[in-house]
Structure 1
């Protein structure tokens, strides 16, 4: 068994309301700041074009604990998508992290020893959608982030579940089998 909080991975998908492109699919790494996740976290401070990483903050001067870095999964081509990333998605992620402290999913005594990396999906169609519902974008990202953190720290799904359901579950985009 690995040292507690060395490296935990989790993911979750929460689907948008009908007619929205606001599905959320964060992929989370949680680990100690002095371990491999902490090293990866520090390396994310170097920016690359179209993949601007940012801290999860609840408001100016309100960085969440554990420190959390949001990284886009797709290249942001324009300021409208960057605004969504640094607005509804950043806010939802930050609130989910704090609520995980409140409900005990993340132990408060570990808050300054852990860090989180969250790979975040924003459908490129969102920013151009005249009917974009930012509240739904917040909802999906909040729910998915909270669930991904819970799953990461509980090591879910378990190896036994994966083996048991190997032939029952198909990838959501599975159109080849």
Structure 2
């Protein structure tokens, strides 16, 4: 068996850099860097597709999109009703919301990511637990994109996946595991105090 040399190992990387995909991506990157975000409308800015998907708040029946909350800070927790870690995490989110008060620029959304769960059961669950923020059962296309962008563990409810979207639309995944209300506040405070 021939042991690869440094020279032979560099060749595949060089070939990859010259692939059609890399060439297509290069001009897009240059175009984005040449245009300041101030010159771009919110529709033109690069945002994940799932921000534009119409969802339904299971508690109110009202349609919404994550893009509706542009300029706010959005905390998204992926959960399942059967998950004890998720419930512990939601209790901490509830404490965070109570500490920040109703005037906060923080929007909280719970995504039921188990495909076996439905809106009617989710509504009963949140009402029985006193969780009064936005909850939705996202379509598979949203779940697929979240998994592709942030990793499959973001669809694993016991890992208590949370990501925060800042005022500019950038997604900031939080570490896995149950996070205390204080840890959540420490994470979101810089985004809340940051201006547009």
The TM-score with structure 1 as length reference comes to 0.27
Structure showing greater radius of gyration is: 2
**As a proportion of its length, which structure holds more helix?**
2
Higher relative contact order (CA 8 A, sep 6+): 1
